[in-house]
Amino acid sequence: MNSSTIAILLISYFLVLLLIAKFTSKSDSNEDFFRANRKAPWYLVAFGMVGTSLSGVTFISVPGWVGATEMTYLQVVFGYLAGYLVVAYVLLPLYYRQNLISIYGYLGNRFDVKTQQIGSFFFFVSRILGAAFRLYLVAIVLQEFLFSAMGLPFEVTVIISVFLIWIYTHKGGIKTIIITDTLQTFFMMAAVVFAISSILQSLDLTLVEYLQSPAFDSYNQVFIFDSLLSKSHFVKSFVGGMFITICMTGLDQDMMQKNLSCKSLEDAQKNMVSFSFVLVLVTFLFVFLGGLLFYYSEQNSIGIPLMNGTPKTDLLFPEIALSGELGIGLSVFFLLGLIAAAYSSADSALTALTTAFCIDFIKIENLDKNSQQKMRKKVHIGLSFLLVLVIVIFNRVISTNVIDSLLVVAGYTYGPLLGLFCFGMFTKHQIKPKKIMLICLSAVVIIALIAQIPAEKVGGYVIGYELLPLNGLLTFSLLYLFRDRAKTLTTS
């Protein structure tokens, strides 16, 4: 597919998103931007959340990861499923009971405003890094196959990508995103199904024949029970996946903002449960596609694409899809899915970051109506620039598979949130905000040091995704140890 065709598709897709934004952002109110007036249908929220959760990382990086890990990522995904049930039946009732806009308002109610801001700060760090990881991956593909041919540097590619997102979200916010994410989820799912079908047809195999072939046997390992010392052992992956979901969904304003836009707690729980099962199924399709991509590349002598002289498996799917060898249909579907992946993740992240900053730090509800809208728009612009800056930095430092990098970083940034929420929910103790910030930062440093311990120093034990619950446990323990012993909560 040539760069002109890619540009036309990108512009056409963007015009559709603008049209949706026009019809969903007529009031331009903060209530629409933050909560969609709590009138969002749960089934639309559920379907759209699939696209937000998958993002460009799943779309490109998960298939590219199969060559090294086979289907073992599904162990983490099964843990996700357990985590979603915790979110639905433990955290959502808490948020709805307190009628929250920002979920970190719980910390303000349980402790004080400064603690609320500490929680929001860790969300900020987590979500800025997470959104940057996701959009970075899509930006390097657009750079490779479109903007390089136009002579534009990577920095300009990132600015254009973020600017397009800002344009269609700056008025409607979450109300617009619920609709656009539904469309974008459809394109992502259509792309992976079309890719599987196209590759099987090219290999002259039916689905059943491929499942019975030695080629599938080479990439179908799901469970690892051999040694608990292994990074990918089932227990470590499952537990890590469960806590990743509890933190990256249940303690994350981005994901919870959509749930809090539902009409009632019951609708929000329906959304969360149905979404979780659909997400597992769709992720399986992406992992299955990964095995097919590597088999196809072997059969057609396609090497792993290089980036800065280093093989980058994240680029294998785009290399095959956009080469044109499997037909223009796959190229079109891939590109639509890729763009959808970019926007469905970054648009909601930008909206959630704006919401949390306005509610938790600025206390925007204390301003007059006119000032509230102006302040919200200024924050939205400022955070767009920050996202661009972080992505550009990532381009200079990231060398590993992006999905692995994202999950590892989550172990550091979400751990303090996990420990802080658990301390609030499962104890009645109080603690001073200065102590909380010091403890949370100390926990991150300690966990970072633990992660650097060579495996041979601890009997061959390789630390995996259990880093996140360990971080949460450490934070909780330190909070309990340094609690204010003279003060306890007297009301729940």
> Of all residues in the chain, what percent carry a pLDDT higher than 90?
24
Q: Which of 42-56, 238-252, 358-372 has the lowest mean pLDDT?
A: 42-56
Reading the block at residue 79, the tokens are 């843990």
Instruction: Answer yes or no: is pLDDT of 402 > 60.
Output: no
Q: Out of 53-67, 243-257, 352-366, 469-483, give the one with best mean pLDDT.
A: 469-483
Selection from 324, 303, 329, 341 nearest residue 195 by Cα: 329
Residue 466: C-alpha distances to residues 122, 231, 281 (Å):
19, 9, 24
Q: Tell me, yes or no, if the pTM score tops 0.85.
A: no
Consecutive H or E run containing 310: strand 310-311
pLDDT tens-digit map of 462-484: 777 788 899 999 999 999 999 99
pLDDT band at 83 (very low <50, low <70, confident <90, very high): very high
- In order of their start, the domains of the chain are 3-417 (1.20.1730.10)
Burial 401-424 (b: 16+ CB within 10 A, else e): bbbbbbbbebbbbbbbbbbbbbbb
pLDDT band at 492 (very low <50, low <70, confident <90, very high): very low
Selection from 194, 148, 146, 133 nearest residue 342 by Cα: 133
Q: Which residues pair with 310 in a beta bridge?
A: 307
pLDDT tens-digit map of 410-444: 778 889 999 999 999 999 999 999 999 999 999 99
Single-letter residue type at 296: Y
Distance of CA 163 to the CA centre of its chain: 20
Between 313 and 217, name the one with better pLDDT. 217
Q: Are strands 484-488 and 310-311 parallel, antiparallel or unpaired?
A: unpaired
Helix segments in 305-432, DSSP class H? 316-322, 328-356, 369-397, 402-413, 415-426
Selection from 248, 36, 223, 24 nearest residue 130 by Cα: 248
pLDDT tens-digit map of 8-48: 887 887 888 778 777 766 655 555 555 555 666 767 777 76
Task: For residue 436, count other CB atoms closer than 10 A to its CB.
Answer: 25
- The whole-number pLDDT of residue 35 equals 54
How many whole angstroms separate alpha carbon 157 and alpha carbon 151? 11
